[in-house]
Structure 1
Amino acid sequence: MPSGRLPEVLDAAYECLTRYGVRRTTMDDIASAMGVSRSAVYQYVRGKDDAFRKLAERLHAEALARARQAAAAEDAPGAERIRGVLAVKLGLVRRLSRDSPHAAELLDEKARGFGDVCHGFTGGINGLLTELFAEAGTAAGTDPAEAARICVALVIGLESAPDAERLFDPAVDALLTGLLGVPVSSAARPHHLPLPSPRK
């Protein structure tokens, strides 16, 4: 299956998703958003389920790449690297929620067509955080993998909060102070959540 115009197909699928949601979108909708025939779209995806799976894979892969960049920022202290990884996870959810209530469908780990993609992304975030906590050291009695899961749970809790961006830094400061066993403050280095716009 050729892939030359696949990014355009996925951009069109995202546009349709934000308007109609996964269930109500048709291949005709995706073709119309691209300005091509339905048969032209079939050159790049097997159907709408395949288009949305590939879209979910792209969004999660891009976010995981940003999280890896944050984790690899060697000039930053461990707490800032952890904060950066958590910001990417929250930023993905907030971006999709901002674009459309339907877009959140791409984040459902129980979704039939791409739940494994979402689950894999969360596993990747957990892995990065576990490595960072192992490197930074945790407070007595806290396992790095457990610390990672606690941080992910915090972000999941913030995902639906209307003021998540405002709460993010103080919540992460408090949590990391406890998990790392040293005072952590974002006040000296303000952090902004990455909310990338979809490619057009």
Structure 2
Amino acid sequence: MGLKPADRLSQVLDATYICLTLHGVRRTTMDDIARQAGMSRSAVYQYVRNKDDAFRRLTERLHDDALVRARAAASAGGPPADRVRGVLGAKLDLVGQLMGASPHGAELLDAKARLFADVCAGFVTELKALLAGVFAEAGVVSTVTPDQAADICIALVMGLEARPDGAVLLQPAADALISGLLAAR
């Protein structure tokens, strides 16, 4: 029994990811994706329109997976600080996954890239909403709004993304920041 179309699409996107790590977006061809997927080029076209579509769908899949983790963290029943750290960790993990695999991984995180800008921007907007929700529920100090607290946290994690030790610094940096943002109970 053959693979279902969703499984074949996943196979194509997995192959696209491997090609990204090897060649980057610009240098990858549809032949590269087909070869990596173990499919003919015409078979790949049954699941993606072209190379741009393959990379866009891959970007969406990776960001959607990170959003699932962020939503789970935001809605978990733990202390607000743990929930905020979980949301920020989902973003940092996505960056780590892509940057750790290859220097080309950053291409899927570029909010200015023609193919992915809306995916990246939507991802950050969703994270901000999740964080603002946690801060609204927990209460923030009087000098910031929940939206501002969320923006501050997003800026923190974006700064950590640029550091090789960002994952190690996430907890102490987030703890210091969150303790200054949450209202005293």
Q: TM-score, normalising length from structure 1? A: 0.88
Residue identity in the other structure for 1:102: H
Between the aligned partners of 2:82 and 2:94, the Cα distance in structure 1 is 18
Residue identity in the other structure for 1:91: D
Counterpart position of 1:111: 113
Between the aligned partners of 1:177 and 1:61, the Cα distance in structure 2 is 29
State the Cα RMSD in Å: 1.2
Offset of residue 181 of structure 1: 4.0
Counterpart position of 2:83: 81
Offset of residue 51 of structure 1: 0.2
Q: 1:182 to 1:170 in 2, by over 3 A?
A: farther
Between the aligned partners of 1:36 and 1:8, the Cα distance in structure 2 is 9
Residue identity in the other structure for 1:22: V
Match of 2:45 among 20, 42, 45: 42
Counterpart position of 2:15: 12
Q: Is the 8 A contact 2:141 2:182 kept in 1?
A: yes
Between the aligned partners of 1:43 and 1:139, the Cα distance in structure 2 is 53
2:59 aligned with 1:53 = no
**Count of residue correspondences:** 181
Could you say what secondary structure the match of 2:11 adopts? helix
Between the aligned partners of 1:128 and 1:15, the Cα distance in structure 2 is 31
Offset of residue 52 of structure 1: 0.3
- Higher relative helix content: 2
Between the aligned partners of 1:119 and 1:167, the Cα distance in structure 2 is 24
Between the aligned partners of 1:57 and 1:112, the Cα distance in structure 2 is 14
Could you say what secondary structure the match of 1:139 adopts? coil
Counterpart position of 1:134: 136
Q: What aligned pairs does 1:105-184 form with structure 2 within 5 A after superposition?
A: 105-182=107-184
Offset of residue 172 of structure 1: 0.5
Offset of residue 140 of structure 1: 1.2
Offset of residue 3 of structure 1: 4.1
Deviations 1:156-185 (A, max 9, x none): 0000101112211111111001111449xx
Residue identity in the other structure for 1:56: T
The runs of 4+ residues in structure 1 deviating greater than 2 Å are none
Residue identity in the other structure for 1:59: L
Offset of residue 116 of structure 1: 0.4
Between the aligned partners of 1:70 and 1:4, the Cα distance in structure 2 is 28
Identity %: 61
Q: 1:182 to 1:172 in 2, by over 3 A?
A: farther
